[in-house]
Amino acid sequence: MTSHDTPTDRGSRSDRSRRLSPKQVVGIVVLVLVAIFCAQNTGRTTIQFFGGETQSPLWVWLLGVLVVGVLVGFVLGYRKKG
């Protein structure tokens, strides 16, 4: 401990850095739910899109849709107003 640090200063900094915000808690819960959902849906699925057709495990499609949704939300969430 240096002369600049007091026990209360060190404790309050570590308490603040360990706390999760409500957004982080929701994000962790959603991530866990997506992981469970993907683990339970591993069967192959045929996807038809604009006349094309492809097969892949369902979890790949679900993960892809999640990524696209997050990107769209990120882009739309940070638009400048006005």
pLDDT per residue as tens digits for the range 32-52: 988 888 788 888 888 888 888
Report yes or no on 61 lying in a domain.
yes
**Is residue 56, in this structure, part of any structural domain at all?**
yes
The verdict on residue 60 lying in a domain is yes
45 and 61 Cβ atoms separated by less than 8 Å: yes
Nearest to 56, CA basis, from 68, 45, 65, 48: 45
Closest CA to 43 of 56, 54, 53, 52: 56
Does a structural domain hold residue 72? yes
Over 80: is that where the pLDDT of 7 sits?
no
Give the helix/strand (H/E) hosting 45.
strand 44-49
Per-residue confidence band for 12, with pLDDT thresholds at 50, 70 and 90: low
Q: What pLDDT is recorded for position 29?
A: 93
User: Would 12 be classed as within a structural domain?
Assistant: yes
Residues 12, 25 contacting (CB under 8 angstroms): no
Considering the domain boundaries, does residue 46 fall inside one? yes
Q: What is the mean pLDDT of residues 48-73?
A: 86
Domain that holds residue 22: 7-77
Q: Count how many domains the chain has.
A: 1
Claim: this prediction has a pTM higher than 0.75 = no
Tell me whether residue 69 is in a domain. Answer: yes
In a domain, 1, yes or no: no
